[in-house]
Each structure stands twice: as C-alpha cells, then as structure tokens.
Amino acid sequence: MEYKLQTIGLLTSGGDSPGMNAAIRAVTRAAIFNGIKVKAIYRGYKGLISGEIHDFYTQDVSNIIQQGGTILKTARSQEFRSAEGRQTAYNNIKSHGIDALIVIGGDGTFSGARVFAQEYNVPIIGLPGTIDNDLWGTDSTIGYDTALNTIIEAVDKIRDTASSHERLFFIEVMGRDAGFLAVNSALASGAEAAIVPERQTDEDQLDQLIRNGFRKSKNSSIVIVAESEITGGANGLAERMRKEHPEYDVRVTILGHIQRGGRPTAYDRILASRMGVAAIDALIDEQRNIMIGIVNDQIVHVPFTKAIKDDKPLNDSLLGVIQILSI
C-alpha cells in the first residue's frame, strides 16, 4: 500500500510538563511548513476516543512557546487500555482522515502507542514530555529541566528557614519511581543527600546518612527524597528520624504539583522545538513507532519498546559527588 502523509493527529497525554506547548507549536508549524495538515486531539487518548478532534492552523499555536501546561489538555485514559476503546480511536482516526499520530507524553503514553501501533496500521511518533526524565534513550525529556529549576528555587527558600531554625528538612520531589529529579536537584541545591528508589538494594540510605555524620559541621540540613514507596517518602523518613534521633528538629515539605507548572526554561523550549521538527522529519522519512530522543545534543530515534523499558540508569557517581560536597 502506498504511504500517504497528508494529515497528522497531535495529542498530549499523561502528566503535563513545561515545554509541551513549545512542542505542540513546533510540530504544528513544521507540519504546515511541509504541506501537512494538523488535527489537534484534545484530552489525549480520551479525546481520540470521544472524537474531540479539530483542525489546527499556525495561528492556533501563536504565543504559547512560553506557557506551561498544555493547550491541548491532557488525561490518563482508562478506556484506551481496552480493545474496544482502541477500536473507537481507530475509527475516529479514519473518519478524520488522519494518516499518522504524534503523541507527546511519558511511558504510559508510549505504552498505549505501542499497543495501538501493533493492532492498527497507524504510524506513530512520540515526543518525550515528562518531568520525570525516566525514558530510556534520551538524555533529557521535555519539562525535566524546568522542573529541576522549580525545585531548586523552592529548596533555596526552604534553606533560609532551615538555617534560621537549625532544622533538618526532608523535601520530597516527584519522579514516580525514578530518582533523576531528586539526585540532580540535590546536587544543584547543595543538599546533604538524595534518597532515591534506584538504591533500594544498598545499605539503608537513612542509616548511611546518619553514619556519615551529616550534621557534623552544620546545624541545618536538607535531604531530598524521591517520592516512592521504596524510599518511604519524606514523611516515612522523617518519622523514623524523629524516633531514632529525637534531638533533631525535623520538618517535611512535599513540593507536589508545583513541579509540573511554570514557564519552560530556555533549555526545554529549545529541546521541544528541535524535537517537534524532528518528529515531522521522521514521519516524512517513513519512520514509525519511535520516540524522538536527544543524546549528546544529537537527535536520535528510539523504538517505543526501548524507551519504556523501565531501566534508564541513574548515574550513581552523582550520589558520591553529593556526599563529597556535603562535608
């Protein structure tokens, strides 16, 4: 069958991330530049199933490069997990004349894309949009840099009060089950330690921290904790610390969804713009079922199966650097 690429469908799915709008702009404009029509699909796979599909033009993406969130809205669709849901999605793709899909999201988005691509003959290109940076095959995901900067801004403020009151703060950051945000925000904010799920097989990280004498030269301390059942979260660790060391004045801050919002950094805007153009180039080259990634500043193509394989390595040496610098 001859491959035709006249119209693409574009959606954002899963947790939003700063820079998604810059990616939407880049995909839309690169498509139109190449004579390809764009259909915007609202609310991710949910909107693909319910048929929230509208024509998109270059002016629809004006003035959004600097905005956080996603103008296309996003959702986590249960219905797309069912064969019936995906059949309806396919029917909508056909009835709107969509030849290929570009999906912006994280591992859940790409897992859905992979299954859909196996069942139906629809070329799909993914752009990594998640603050977690947990996709294999890319040095960075769209939104990760902004989230890191949001975290360190908050930690700098907490440090002021921690230091005035001579307190120990456990600050919990997002990442689902990945410690990238925790380790790099700890490094960038001068925290005493990062507690991450990737180290669960090692010696208990809290015991290690205490044994290293994390308070020997300081009266206030910051420990960044990656959210995860494995780490016990900031509340779990604080509770233990209060029991084992009642002499410490312990406080907890859970940064929460503030990490997902805000104006994207220059890095995320540039990354999103480059990746958006690369996604259209990939479709024109008849690539399918890949995620666009960036490695050593070069655009790469990563099969969905690899991108979602759940074992993107955390650079262990960074934990060593944090320890050295926290004496």
Q: Which residues are catalytic?
A: 132
CB 223 within 8 A of CB 319: no
Give, in degrees to the nearest 5, the angle at Cα 130 between 97 and 89: 25
Q: Give least dist CB 260 to ligand F6P, A.
A: 5
Q: Give least dist CB 71 to ligand F6P, A.
A: 18
Comparison of 137 and 233: residue with beta carbon closer to ligand F6P: 233
Containing 277, the helix (H) or strand (E) segment is: helix 266-284
260 contacts ligand F6P (rule: CB under 6 A): yes
CB 114 within 8 A of CB 155: no
Comparison of 15 and 68: residue with beta carbon closer to ligand F6P: 15
Contacts with ligand F6P by CB under 6 A: the residue count is 10
106 contacts ligand F6P (rule: CB under 6 A): yes
Q: Give least dist CB 76 to ligand F6P, A.
A: 6
Containing 107, the helix (H) or strand (E) segment is: helix 107-119
At how many degrees (to 10) do helices 83-95 and 107-119 cross? 80
Q: Give least dist CB 178 to ligand F6P, A.
A: 8
How crowded is the C-beta side of 73, counted as CA atoms within 13 Å?
13
Q: Any residues with CB less than 8 A from the CB of 150 and at least 6 apart, and which?
A: 255, 258, 259, 261, 262
Comparison of 28 and 141: residue with beta carbon closer to ligand F6P: 141
Distance, C-alpha 163 to centroid of its chain: 31
73 contacts ligand F6P (rule: CB under 6 A): no
Site mask, ligand F6P, residues 120-139, x = CB under 6 A?
----------xxx-------
How crowded is the C-beta side of 212, counted as CA atoms within 13 Å?
18
278 contacts ligand F6P (rule: CB under 6 A): no
Among 210, 309, 269, which Cα is nearest to 25's? 269
Among 150, 190, 192, 197, which Cα is nearest to 170's? 192
Of the candidate residues 174, 225, 237, 280, the single one contacting ligand F6P (CB under 6 A): 174
Of the candidate residues 126, 128, 137, 175, the single one contacting ligand F6P (CB under 6 A): 175
Return the number of other C-beta atoms located less than 10 Å from residue 267's C-beta: 16
Strand pairing class (53-56; 37-41) = antiparallel
Comparison of 145 and 227: residue with beta carbon closer to ligand F6P: 227
Interactions with ligand F6P, residue window 200-229 (CB under 6 A): 227
Bridge partners of 129, per DSSP, are 142
Comparison of 130 and 189: residue with beta carbon closer to ligand F6P: 130
Contact region with ligand F6P (CB under 6 A), list: 41-49, 53-61, 174-182, 273-281: 174-182
Q: Give least dist CB 26 to ligand F6P, A.
A: 21
15 contacts ligand F6P (rule: CB under 6 A): yes
Q: Give least dist CB 111 to ligand F6P, A.
A: 13
CB 81 within 8 A of CB 112: yes
Interactions with ligand F6P, residue window 132-171 (CB under 6 A): 132
Comparison of 37 and 176: residue with beta carbon closer to ligand F6P: 176
CB 135 within 8 A of CB 36: no
Give contact residues for ligand F6P (rule: CB under 6 A): 15, 106, 130-132, 174-176, 227, 260
